[in-house]
Structure 1
Amino acid sequence: MARIHSNDPSGATRMRAFVLALFLGAIVVPGVAIAQPSSIPETTDDARRLPIPPVDRSQHPVVVITGGMLIDGRGGAPIANAVVVTQGDRIVAAGRAGTIAVPANPARVVDATGMYIMPGLIDLHVHFTQQRCHDFGQYSDSPAGAAIRGVALAQQLIGAGVTAARDVGTVDDVALRIKEAVDRQIIPGPRVLWSGRIIATTGGHGDEVTSTATGRQKPAMGGPSKGFNGPWEWRTAVRQQVRGLADWIKLGAPADREEIAAAIDEAHSLGVPVAIDSFGQYTDWAIEAGVDTLEHPLAMTDQAVPLMKKHGTAFVPTIGAFDNLLTGGYPTAGIPTGGFYHTHSRRFVIDQKEHLGRVAQAYRAGVPIGVGTDIPFENEVRYPDAYFRELAYLSEAGMTNADVLASATRVGADIMKMGDKLGTLEPGKIADILILGANPLDSLENLRDVRYVIADGRLVVETPQR
């Protein structure tokens, strides 16, 4: 066991564009001197990119990793007898021994001889607050209970080498508080980007009275609706999420075309990316409106993949989440085998062969594909196995081992809007590093052989002998 030390009135649109252009210096106002903005040297390590004061890392501890085979994630050949140097939370150098200056008296030297050094893994679709344990139905739930479950999942993820995770739907602000707890070193876990509550129409996915999984009515008919109706309410919902410090916006279908487009436009105007849980024509509308990621391959039209390629949309298939429904359901939650039942927003058949076919089609078309798990129940027994099973599904869809590893690291970082900070091992990147006992390029199963995990420059898992 690892030790885990609208319709927006055109005038408003033009005004926003004018203000932005004025800020960027694209419009010259006679008689007014406009200072050209300089690049921000330091920002928060999330998708919001808030400016922060310069960070002096000169006195931070140095860690040196020696002797391993380096798979740096940039697509080149592995580098034998490699050295990686980190200081504080950043990578200082990475390359072949003899070409890298090694500081004297580092705080720690990790001997990775015979091991494989690669970027930490990324899970793009988790829900930290989802249920677990066979008897959870006997207990009432609360945000505090959800937070406790989330802490347990965070520990499972980091122990498996998942150093970054995107939460795409949470209870209250639980995922935000887990993010903060990891940042403050209160708990071990991956770097967290979160998207708050799913924005849905009244009665849509995220606001149904019946559970999507079980079809059971929720207590008190689900309480007052938290849905939004009309483009301006969807814009308001986005603003509320951004005000609440969300890194991402998560939308749910069904919804009107104008609602989806308004939410995406609003989020992008505020510099925040958008994911959507969608199906059928709603997926096509979202892609055309510029959504950043499509979650799930549900009831996709034949136009979806070509549209994704055209508009640069990324794809997070979460194949395992639906295969679970088809091959056993979720017994502890009373969810039978076969698919979705008694739900208004999931009135279609799950076809695993079709799902894999859509992933293969997207792969051939060059659509960015990321790794996401989306396990709603039984987290205590399905993680971290669900992550590695998801990689196997991508292989089954025709992806090479190298491309699957890229999806789990570099491509995943790009999809997360963190490609300049995560996903590869090179100077200036955040020190999220996974050290394995066997070569993952030979077999993706070797990703399970975790020996060390360095997250944000800190050694959080250490099992050199297995």
Structure 2
Amino acid sequence: MRKDITVPTTITPRRPAPIDGTLWLTGGHVVDVLGGTVRRDVNVAVADGRITAITGTAPAPGSRTVDLGGRYLLPGLISVHTHLSVVYPFSATDEDENPGLTAMRALSRAQDALHAGVTTIRCVHEQHRAELLIRTAAEQGWVDAPRIVGAGRAISTTGGHGHGSACSYADGFDGFLHAARTELAAGADLLKIFITGGIAHEGESFTGAQMTPEEMRAVVRAAEEHGSYVTAHAGSGSAIREALAAGVRGYEHAYELDDATAKEMAERRVFLTPTLCVTRCPDWMAEHSFSSWQIERATQVGPGHLDSIRRAVAAGIARPDDPGAPGITMLAGTDYPPGEPIEDTVVAVREMEFLTDAGLSPEQALRAGTSDAARLVGLAGQAGAVEEGLLADLIVTDRDPLSDLSALRRIPFVMQAGRIVRDDLPAAAPAAAAAQTRTGGTA
């Protein structure tokens, strides 16, 4: 794992500190993403960046409060497949770009995500390891950003899927072992590899492996040396089966899964991030300078991609109440910057809605972007739920997202580690929330 960063005592943090004393979020309903229930009409106390109480008792007179007005309080969103430094079209990538410019572009997208309610992100390739720079700046108090877990630069074979994207390039066991150790030494929390092609480059196929089993094992070895893990850009079942045998723990995209591979993934209890956005958003792609060929290719792959993820769901979803049972942990990750506008929401929320199209219930999709994602990024027991003692990473919706996931399309309040990032709460409760409170609506 990455080394702790020591902040010199001569630096004065510029980042707003958590509010001194206790702040009460009053008159809300707490969404239990683990149990799939709603705890109604409670008050939540936040102090020193954490949730200190969830109670039906009113705070003492004179306490500092934020009136939720019958709205729903749930954990901040976590997006686990993020690229902050990417440029569109991909062909415009300049591998020799000034690292300062790369970091500034990435920071802008990180702050967009935070404002949208994404309080933690996992980056799975950034040019110049930009996310690690942002993480350091945030930890030293210079910038606001989501909590960041980063892979540094993804590792690609020479001429492979990552070619031209400012990745780390390697070949052979020793080459991949060296490249993996280099990213970990630079501060990466995990390692990302490309085991197949994808849909972004003309003439490329996502069937068949671009890495040998020995090369995969080299990266897994380096990760295990640091108590970390490997996730793989993966298109087809045949390559995924090789990666499973090599010890790869996480998989991204899975455009073409067969039933047997999906079953083996469930038996090995792996993590899968479908990134359904990349094959289901042609209008967004057109607005971001994707070529007509790329848009056509994505939409062609889209139906099969959705069917593939449905097979993964049918193979079994991991259960939070039985962590040892077979099952795939399905996760919410966008591939695109998660705070980017799309339709009347942001990409992070649209991805969670797409997961319900693939067969997840609203409850399961909500866990994919909160509690299950927290387990993957090493924040189990720290974030991903609204519970006493956990980090006060919180968002608010007008309606119950367990009943209708589209409630996430409006997030008027965001808190990260006890700091109010966004407060667009109106003075009065919306009519719909007030009516539901009066009638005792169910979760």
Shorter-chain TM-score range: 0.7 to 0.9
* Equivalent position of 1:464 in the other structure: 425
Shift of the 122–328 alpha-carbon distance from structure 1 to 2, 3 Å rule, reads: closer
Q: Does 1:294 align with 2:251?
A: yes
Paired residues for 1:81-92 under 5 Å:
81-92=41-52
- 1:274 and 2:230 matched: yes
- Please tell me whether the aligned partners of residues 191 and 229 of structure 2 are also in contact (alpha carbons under 8 angstroms): yes
Distance 1:421 1:205, change over 3 A: same
* Candidates 391, 396, 405, aligned match of 1:444: 405
Instruction: Give the number of the structure whose alpha-carbon radius of gyration is greater.
Output: 1
**Letter of the 1:267 counterpart:** A
Q: Report the count of equivalent residues.
A: 392
Deviations 1:231-282 (A, max 9, x none): 1221211211111011111111211111102211220221122211122222
Say if 1:249 and 1:104 are closer, same or farther in 2 by CA, change over 3 A.
farther
Asked if structure 2 preserves the Cα contact closer than 8 Å seen for 1:333 and 1:377, the reply is: no
Task: Give the CA deviation at 1:67.
Answer: 1.1
Q: Within 2, Cα distance between the matches of 1:349 and 1:88?
A: 47
Instruction: Output the CA distance in 2 between the equivalents of 1:274 and 1:383.
Output: 34
Q: Runs of 5+ in structure 1 lacking a partner?
A: 1-46, 212-221, 342-347
Does residue 157 in structure 1 map to residue 99 in structure 2? no
Q: For the aligned residues, what is the CA RMSD?
A: 3.4
Please report how far the alpha carbon of residue 301 of structure 1 lies from its aligned counterpart in structure 2 after TM superposition: 4.0
Decide which of 50, 75, 78 is 2:35's aligned counterpart: 75
Q: How does 1:21-100 map to 2 (within 5 A)?
A: 48=2, 61-94=21-54, 96-98=55-57
1:425 aligns with 2:379: no
TM normalised by structure 2 equals: 0.79
Structure 1 residues 231 and 65: alpha-carbon distance in aligned structure 2, compared to 1, 3 A threshold: same
Q: Structure 1 counterpart of 2:21, which letter?
A: P
Paired amino acid for 1:391:
M
In the alignment, which of 357, 370, 374 is matched to residue 331 of structure 2?
370
| 1:97-127 superposed Cα distances (whole Å, 9 cap, x missing partner) | 13x9x58865x42111211000001111111
The match for 1:406 is: 367
Alignment of 1:61-140 (within 5 A): 61-94=21-54, 96-98=55-57, 108-131=64-87
SS in 2 for 1:124: strand
Q: Deviations over 1:353-393 (max 9, x none)?
A: 22112222222312110001112799576896222221221
Letter in 1 for 2:45: V
Contact 1:194 1:248 in 2 (8 A): yes
The structure 2 residue matched to 1:236, chosen from 171, 178, 189, is 178
Deviates most, 120-129 or 153-162: 153-162
Q: Which of 273, 283, 307 is matched with 2:240 structurally?
A: 283
Query: TM (normalized to structure 1)?
Result: 0.75
Q: Does structure 1 conserve the Cα–Cα contact (< 8 Å) formed by 2:121 and 2:148? A: yes
Cα distance between partner residues in 1 of 2:123 and 2:329: 19
- Residue 458 of structure 1: how far off its partner (Å): 0.7
Show CA shifts across 1:162-217 (max 9, x none).
111111100113111222233344333311111111111211222x25x7xxxxxx
Change over 3 Å in CA distance of 1:279–1:332 after alignment to 2: closer
Distance 1:322 1:185 in 2: 38
Question: 2:218: which partner in 1?
Answer: 262
Q: Which has the higher strand share?
A: 2
SS in 1 for 2:32: coil
Question: Given the alignment, which residue of 198, 201, 205 partners 2:161?
Answer: 205
